[in-house]
Amino acid sequence: MVIRRLGPLSCAKVAGLLYLILGLVFGACISLFSMLGLFGAPDGAFPAFFGASAIVVLPIFYGVLGFLGALIMTALFNVVVGIAGGIEVDAS
């Protein structure tokens, strides 16, 4: 079997979702570290705000950039595969 084309939108949706999950994990870690006072001063509203916003902003940021990156790379992949002839896959 030879892969000659990938659907850019399909790949971008999957990659965007995977990056969103990764951003949620990183956001949770940053939120935890922030609440423990490992970023800056341990008192005040800044660590709490930073931690709460990290768990919301990072998944959105990672998801959007992952989606756009995969969309562009899949389109480039299709151009290169058209020139090179495809990728051979052994389905055994």
Tell me the three-class secondary structure of 2-39, residue by residue: EECCCCHHHHHHHHHHHHHHHHHHHHHHHHHHHHCCCC
Q: Average model confidence (pLDDT) for the chain?
A: 87
Total domains in the chain come to: 1
Q: Which residue has the higher pLDDT, 82 or 47?
A: 82
pLDDT at 23: 94
pTM of the complete model beyond 0.85: no
Range of the domain at 81: 2-39+47-88
pLDDT at 50: 72
Distance CA 15, CA 32 (A): 26
